[in-house]
Structure 1
Amino acid sequence: MSVTVEIAGLPPERIVFTPSPLGELGTALHALSEPGHHPAVHGWTTATNAALKPDLADRLCDADFLWRTTFADIFMGFAGLRDPAAQPGATLADDLDTLDRLPDEDFVAAALEFTCVSTYGKAAPSPLADPQMRERAMDLAAARGQRQMDFTNWLLTDPTAVREWIRRLFEDCDQAFFADTWRRTRVHLAADARHKTELLRHKGLAAALESVSQALTLDEHGTRIEVDKMADGRTTAVDPAVGVGLTLVPTTFNWPHLTVLHRPGWRPVLHYPVASGDLPGHSSVEALTLRMEALSHPLRMRLCRSVARAPYTTGELAGILGLTAPEVSRHLSVLKKAGLLTTRRRGRYVQHQLDLSIVAKLGSDFLETVLR
């Protein structure tokens, strides 16, 4: 599984690394609503949530579908403009002004992204203009409770008023906590963007992508970027009708999420967490799948129980488990292919042992992969 970004013929100068105040506010709001996803900023989320005034906290609950389950594309509204020069601004006000330029149909479709779970990445009409999409949006909102249904109905009925309400909400967040947060984080984010721009310039796109995340790879021909995620999707950075360009936006809040904006008719955006040495590393979807499948067999679980305690040869394990040596060898091969075993030769004997460091990381690897 992966999300593919087509970049054949994309000029290097149209690949931009830049922070986004509105994007950072979106990830901050997600961290506040889902603090369990973001242990690295636990102190900040706890203190900020505790300091929120009741009125602001209540309004955030009204609109939290914009950032809780999915990261709505309105936080990257610049990518929806038919203006390839449009990029994140220097201030939150700049980004909000850019968002105001987005047509109502695009704004509503992006805001109601939760209604497009099965159709995201495919061309579909806006719920504001299409009765069937509107009905679908209301049905899905109703399944999530009265508050969300009321807000969705308001958005579909009076998008101008809701857009003004959302802008005011973001401005109040800025006054309450985000302005101070942005002052502290923007220097770090700008430095990261400059560093990756220099890598792009001097060492090429493959090196720049590797520095962003091991989940990003450039194909051998340099024509597409593959994003290793538990989802399938495709987009292009070279659609002249939309505007040629790819934007990569760093964030301090988003780990373990690596988000890819691949909405049809929008330029692609990669929103990536800035690396931190105290966070778990990347595990590929393929590697995690191999390990989970290897451990799903009861005989291999029994093998793991033995080789977790001490190294054993194939013959010793056959005697312990009452199996033939070829049977044991087949199961050991599966565990070894999954990277769960280490082997060492002692004379004419080969001993197998469980790699405890890899097994100990399976829980965090699973969470990092499914949340990426």
Structure 2
Amino acid sequence: MNVIFSCGGTGGHIFPALAIAEELMTREKIKILFVGSKDGMEKNIITKLKFNFASISAKPLIRKITIKNLLNCFYNIKAIFESIKIINYFNPDIVIGTGGFVSFPMLFAAILKKKTTLIHEPNVYPGIANKLLGLFVSKITVGFEETKKYFPLHKTKVTGNPVRNSIFKKDKSKAIKYFKLDKGKKTILIMPGSRAAKKINDVVLSSIQTIEKEIKNIQMIWMTGKSEYKKIKELIKESKIKIRVFDFIYDSGLAYAVSDAAVLRAGASTISEIVLTKTPAILVPYPYATDNHQEKNAMLFERKNAAIVIKDNELSQQKLIDGLKNLLNKKNQIEIKKNLKKIFTTDGSKKIVDLILGDSKC
């Protein structure tokens, strides 16, 4: 069986594709090809995991008439022809898209070539590319019941979001050793993403002395992003709290395994991970995400009392500290974890692969 995955732009589109691919490999003798953009983060992530990767000239479009946007339209037309060549060479049984601008040319080419196609929408509110593709693809899967209404109902299934096994099958004692933490203290995870970290970093940094006074017996794991790593590591040297600082955390599963509370953005991968790991979190949606999808993700969790949500422009020392106190309260933790279980089922990868294999008659 030959399968093409097309994804890119953010981890919220890349990691669901990887989770589906890994589940497929446990069931079938399979050849997998990932297709992404030439200069996106997906190439580095996917090739590190030893998957075959091909690039196309896809570029993101913005909703303004500019010379750059017109040029990007040309690149996307070119990407459709490149995708047709890849399909002719690889001859896939199915082409799967998990969102992002790079998915559109490949899925459009697959539709033209009359290939079996499937898209997965991991966010609560779908992007324009997936909404348009949804009219023509063979099957659609979505992470949330609330998302189903945006697609043709007769071919849309709610599966939950696929998450890699490496995220939620981690041992807490190993995580404590890996991060060099104290076994008897509660752990707060600060992981705002590598490219949208500054606002959260600034507020956490300005709050450290107050946190020392008001929240006892805690320690922190803090992923700062590359640009602020050296500065923050230097500035927290004198803190009375044990703070383990990283520019990037490659094994986020270990970080979740040891964390009692977290401060996070609200991208598709992140919200899926807190559901799977049952991690009580403060969600601070990134305000510049396409279609403001992070805020829409976060609001669903707030309505279901499955997370605390603080908007980026409202994040302050006091709101952060009050939120952390609430999350670390034992009664509140039990309630949030119970509500996280209700968001979606934990077998999204399995359900999607069942659908893929059925569609492919394999």
Smaller-chain TM-score bracket: under 0.3
Question: Radius of gyration: which is bigger?
Answer: 1
Greater strand fraction, Structure 1 or Structure 2: 2
TM-score, structure 1 normalization:
0.27
Greater helix fraction, Structure 1 or Structure 2: 1
Structure with bigger RCO (C-alpha 8 Å, 6+ apart): 1
